[in-house]
Amino acid sequence: MSNLETNSHDRLVSAAKGVVGACPLIGPLAAEALGAIIPKQRLDRVVEFLRGLESEVQKLDCRLEKFEENIVGAEGLDILEEGLIQAARSVSIQRKQRLARLVGRSLTKDEVDYEESRKLLNLFRDLTDPEVIWLIYYSLNPVMGSGPHQDLIAKHPDVLKPISRAMGAPQDQTDRAALQDSYKNTLLRYGLIERRGKSNQTTSLGRLMVRYIQEEKS
């Protein structure tokens, strides 16, 4: 790692430790106890999240100072703390990457939009990985022939591939179809998608979420 990368990593790690260091008397003890309280597997998840956050901030190198400014405030610390809590409970690498983008983009703004970022973090916490994939799917612009929709289906066939609901279908197929319906119903209930005729489309809130969590096109 270069000195710049090392310094950036050290700043992010220090910012994360600042969550417990905010209490001068018990902070150091809490930091030492953290390893005993959180299983190693969960600590590894937090490290993966911090690496993703570091990468996200490094992409916006000119925003590093803004990140440092935002993280010392109560609102910025709360956003980081929520990100760390969710990271400890996140199993898939892709989920931790999306979470890192959400937190990183929240904390590199000129001013932290706390209510917006907190709302999106709360929503993200309540969505399963398949629901996030469906949200991204609905956000894609339709094109003639093969395109981004087909590419995403090929990448996540177990989630997005249509499932027949014909009478007499095997029980496991019926179960998978019920789960697929539940993913869409969750997005509808949270106001992230809406019905337009016979199809679903992302709402303004849904598109906002996707802008925060989706990888930027190179």
**pLDDT tens per residue across span 69-99:** 888 888 988 898 888 889 989 999 999 999 9
Query: 193-196 and 199-202 as β-strands: parallel, antiparallel, unpaired?
Result: antiparallel
pLDDT, tens digit, for every residue of 156-208?
Answer: 999 999 888 777 778 888 899 999 999 999 999 999 999 998 889 999 999 99
d(CA 77, CA 57) in angstroms, rounded, equals 16
The answer on 177 and 119 residing in a single domain is: no
CA–CA dist 58, 9 (Å, integer): 10
Last residue of one domain, picked from the residues 83, 100, 126: 126
Name the band, by pLDDT with cuts 50, 70 and 90, for residue 14: low
- The alpha helices in 22-167, defined as continuous H runs, are 27-37, 40-59, 64-71, 74-88, 93-107, 114-126, 129-139, 148-155, 157-160
- What pLDDT, on the 0 to 100 scale, is given for residue 23? 59
Q: Are 22 and 77 in contact (CB under 8 A)?
A: yes
Q: What is the CA radius of gyration of the chain?
A: 20
Q: Are 75 and 133 in the same domain?
A: no
Q: Is the pLDDT of residue 42 over 80?
A: no
Question: How many distinct structural domains can be found in the chain?
Answer: 2
Residue 164: phi and psi, rounded to 5, are -65, 135
pLDDT for res 1: 47
Structure tokens of 138?
């609905």
Is residue 218 situated within a structural domain? Answer: no
Domain stop point among 126, 144, 169: 126
Q: Is 116 helix (H, G, I), strand (E, B) or coil?
A: helix
Whether residues 169 and 115 fall in one domain: no
The encoded tokens of residue 149 equal 């929709």
Beta bridge partners of 195: 200
Distance CA 192, CA 202 (A): 6
The pTM for the full model equals 0.82
CATH code, 155: 1.10.10
Structural domain boundaries enclosing 16? 3-126
**Is residue 191 within 8 Å of 202, Cβ to Cβ?**
no
The answer to whether residue 146 scores a pLDDT higher than 80 is no
* pLDDT of 21 over the 70 cut: no
Asked if residue 148 lies in contact with residue 141, where contact means CB atoms within 8 angstroms, the answer is: yes
Q: What element of type H or E holds 189?
A: helix 171-189
Which of 145, 168, 64, 138 has its CA nearest to residue 108?
64
User: In this model, does residue 144 exceed pLDDT 90?
Assistant: no
